[in-house]
Amino acid sequence: MTLIEARAALLVVRVVCVARRISPVLFAVCLALAFPVQKVAAYCRSTVASGTSGVCSAVPNSPFLNWQRSCVTYTFNNNAFTRLQPLTEAATREIFNTSFASWSGVNCSGRKPFYVEQAPGTTSSGPGFVKDAANVSVISVYPGSEWDDLTDHSPNAIALTLLWYEKKMGEILDVDMDLNLGAGQFADCEKVTCRSGSVVDLQNTITHEAGHLLGLGHTSVSGATMQPQAIGGLTAETSKRSLAQDDVDGYCALNLPGFVCSNAACTCPVPPIYRSSTTQSGCACASVGLRGRASGWLGLLTLLGVAAAARHRLRRRAGRAV
C-alpha cells in the first residue's frame, strides 16, 4: 500500500466513524479498524493507586508512577558493606551495577536509556523523603531485629523499595532501598552454593527491586524478573537476574527519559529540591516460610510480594491533605 492509498483508507475509516459518531460502540470498532489491536501485556506499571499487595492490576484513571528526571544517583549507608559481609564492598558494588545494567541494556527502539548511577563513598543518611530539602537515594541493610522495628517492613520481606512520588501525577521524586538480613545472608549464588531459605542471591534481589525503582509492578508471567512468585529448588533463586521478554516489554513501556550528558564527567546532576506534596509506596519481596523454616517450605517456594501501599500522606504547603 502506498502512502496515498494509506491516507485514502484512513480517510474512509474517519468518514465512517463520523457517520457513526452517535454510537460509541461503533466508534470503538472504528478505532480498532484504524489502528492495530494491541496485545494485552502481562507486565504491570505501578500507578499512584496500585502500590498494594500481590500482582498489580490496572486502575482506571490512575496515573503511572513516572520519572521526569533522566537519571538517579544512589549511595550506600555507612554500615551497608560491613553488614553484607562476607560479600566485599567491591563485589557488592559490582552486583548493583550489573543488576541495573540488565535494565539499561534493553534496546527500546534505539532510545537512550535512563541512567542509574552509583555514587562513590557512603552516607550517614537513611531512607526517607524530606520536603523542601535535598534528598539522597540510599541503600540500607538491616539485621532482622532492626528490620522488625521498622514501620511498614514486613517480617517476611527480603527487600523493600521505597518510591516517593507526587500523588496526583505520579512523578517519582526519590527512591530508597532496604535489605533485610533476617531473610538470610546475601551472596553471589553463581559463585558460591546458596542454600535456599538461608542465603539470598543479591543480584537476583536487586534486579527485581531495580524494576520497581524504574516504575514496574509485578507481572503474572512465569519466569519473569518482575514475577512475584518463584519456585526454587534447594539452592537460592538466580533466574531473576536475567530479564524475560515480558520485563523487556514493561521496561520499554515505561518510556523513561533518556539520559544525556550535561557535564564533562557525564554524571547525574544533583536532584532538585521538591516542594510538592508526596506519598510513599513500597514493595516488599518476601519469602514464604522464611520465618517458619521448620515448616517444610524451606527452599521450595519463594514468594515475592508487594506489601506496603501509599501510607504516609504528607500535606501540601497550604496544609491540605492530598
In whole angstroms, the minimum distance from the beta carbon of 210 to Zn ion comes to 10
CB 310 within 8 A of CB 51: yes
In whole angstroms, the minimum distance from the beta carbon of 208 to Zn ion comes to 6
Query: Minimal CB distance to Zn ion: which residue?
Result: 283
With H, G, I as helix, E, B as strand and everything else as coil, classify residue 98. Answer: helix
CB 235 within 8 A of CB 194: yes
In whole angstroms, the minimum distance from the beta carbon of 217 to Zn ion comes to 8
CB 56 within 8 A of CB 234: no
If the CB atoms of residues 254 and 283 are measured against Zn ion, the closer one turns out to be 283
- Contacts (CB under 5 A) with Zn ion, residues 233-252: none
In whole angstroms, the minimum distance from the beta carbon of 227 to Zn ion comes to 9
Task: Copy the grid coordinates of residue 163.
Answer: 518510591
Q: Which stretch binds Zn ion (CB under 5 A): 36-44, 235-243, 276-284, 289-297?
A: 276-284
Q: Does 283 bind Zn ion (CB under 5 A)?
A: yes
In whole angstroms, the minimum distance from the beta carbon of 285 to Zn ion comes to 5
CB 299 within 8 A of CB 195: yes
If the CB atoms of residues 227 and 277 are measured against Zn ion, the closer one turns out to be 227
Judged by phi (left if over 0) then psi (alpha if -120 to 50, else beta), residue 201 lies in beta
Rounded CA gap, 36 and 317, in Å? 45
How many of the chain's residues bind Zn ion (CB under 5 A)?
A: 3
Q: Does 307 bind Zn ion (CB under 5 A)?
A: no
Locate the DSSP E strands across 220-295.
229-231, 279-286
Q: Which stretch binds Zn ion (CB under 5 A): 98-106, 118-126, 188-196, 297-305?
A: 297-305
Q: Which stretch binds Zn ion (CB under 5 A): 128-136, 178-186, 267-275, 278-286?
A: 278-286
In whole angstroms, the minimum distance from the beta carbon of 178 to Zn ion comes to 13
Helix axes 24-34, 3-19, angle to 10 degrees: 170
If the CB atoms of residues 83 and 212 are measured against Zn ion, the closer one turns out to be 212
With H, G, I as helix, E, B as strand and everything else as coil, classify residue 301. Answer: strand
The label of the residue with cell 555507612 reads 78
Identified binder of Zn ion from the candidate list 162, 172, 214, 285, rule CB under 5 A: 285
If the CB atoms of residues 75 and 227 are measured against Zn ion, the closer one turns out to be 227
If the CB atoms of residues 123 and 239 are measured against Zn ion, the closer one turns out to be 239
CA angle centred on 145, ends 144 and 150, rounded to 5°: 90
In whole angstroms, the minimum distance from the beta carbon of 51 to Zn ion comes to 11
Half-sphere exposure of 96 (CA within 13 A, CB side): 24
Binding residues for Zn ion, rule: CB under 5 A, are 283, 285, 304
